[in-house]
Structure 1
Amino acid sequence: MNFFKSIVLALFIGIFSTQAQDAQKAKALLDEVSAKIKSYDNITIEFKYALNNPKENINQESKGNVTLKGNLYHLNFMGVTKIFDGKKVYTIVPEDEEISISKFDDSDKDAVTPNKMLTFFNSGFKYSWDIVQNVKGRKIQYVKLVPISSKDQRKEVLIGIDVQTKHIYNLIEIGKNGTRTTLTVNSFKTDQPLSKNHFTFTESKYPNYYINRLD
């Protein structure tokens, strides 16, 4: 092997080794985030949601909040409340005075639910170490996720992680169609005192609502 080929090979091996180390660092940080999330009895998050696609002239913003306890959740977003009590999902739409009740299919791994917001990144992606930013004195380390499946409509996902707390600061999802979705955590509270009915749907509270039982 001549000298030039040796240099090229050494550079290639060096780059590959660095990429592998970055992927390991990224996955290790995400594992820390997952472990921290699992250590809490419950989590209450207030967030801002932004959807942007310049090509289609779409620019939307909204705020919401969600309480998570295991696989249970209580979500308020865009004027709609969704409650999951462990068996059924209750979607309450005050504007239409309508409630939809459906069974949750636990076998559907592709189902998008609020409690997966903090754990979806555990599988199905290639990981890489990305930029670090200073946000109001907080060190936010980004990890880039690229879906393994070519059928996934997401081009990449960026997760911003507070280095000190190991909490997620934001999620930036970039679609193959150019749509950019950003979810920013404004408040992250843990182990809050919750009423025993926090994840319970009480039909008597909605006497004039139309109830659509889907199952």
Structure 2
Amino acid sequence: MKKIINILFAFILVISSGYSQTSQKAKSYLDQVSKTLSSYKNVSIDFTYTSHNTASQDISQKGHIDIQKDLYVLDFMGIKKIYDGKKIYTISTEDEEVTVSNLNKDKADGILPSDMLTFFKEGFSYQWDITATVKGKKIQYIKLIPTDKNSGIKDILLGIEDATKNIFSQVQTGKDGSKMVLSVNSFETNQTLSKNHFTFTASKYPNYYINTID
């Protein structure tokens, strides 16, 4: 379960983990997206995550994430993750356990929201793709292709709502035929959040085991 959460978290935040200078048109467009996202005080997203695997049954779950600079609160599949700028708190309702850890950039949950604004790292080439109308919205798609030939990812199709330059969807296709689809159900910005919104409060979990691993 926790492994799925970490994969999903990376999938949400690394909306684009890097691109090479293959398409100037796509680069300019993603510059606009990056500028728009960085202008918000905070972002609240309701999403649906669907995993298609030829070897197993499809998984489809809804979740929610609040982001303010590098702080975040993620709720998904009975797991809540809070990053307060210093520590990551992984709260499992099923296990009644809170795992406290340091941020580790080498792990999936070490990715920060600001990383999704870094569109120009190495790792992908990108292509200008189709424009389509989805749910009455004009969506521009950009395809990302890993430059690492040994990558298990075939490509990532990133959908951008053209009018707002907000993220609309992301489809990651594996070379094994698997797919991970992230669909944004609502994208709210500049919400009124309490000053303790991104703070872990132990008193809310009186019977939980606190497991501090580092």
Q: TM-score, normalised by structure 2?
A: 0.84
Aligned to 2:200: 201
Contact 1:75 1:114 in 2 (8 A): no
Structure index of larger Rg:
1
Q: Which has the higher helix share?
A: 1
Q: List aligned pairs for 1:90-169, cutoff 5 A.
A: 90-106=89-105, 108=106, 113=111, 115=113, 118-119=116-117, 121-123=119-121, 124-169=123-168
Contact 1:90 1:100 in 2 (8 A): yes
Aligned to 1:73: 72
Question: Is the alpha carbon distance of 1:91 and 1:103 closer, same or farther for their aligned partners in structure 2, counting shifts above 3 Å?
Answer: same
Question: Is the alpha carbon distance of 1:114 and 1:76 closer, same or farther for their aligned partners in structure 2, counting shifts above 3 Å?
Answer: farther
Q: CA deviation at 1:53?
A: 1.4
Q: CA deviation at 1:120?
A: 6.0
- Structure 1 stretches lacking a partner, 5+ long: 1-20
- Structure 2 stretches lacking a partner, 5+ long: 1-20
Over the aligned positions, Cα root-mean-square deviation in angstroms equals: 2.1
Q: TM-score, normalised by structure 1?
A: 0.84
Contact 1:49 1:184 in 2 (8 A): yes
- Bigger RCO of structures 1 and 2 (CA < 8 A, at least 6 apart): 2
Contact 1:49 1:62 in 2 (8 A): yes
Percent sequence identity is: 48
Aligned to 1:24: 24
- Aligned residue pair count: 194
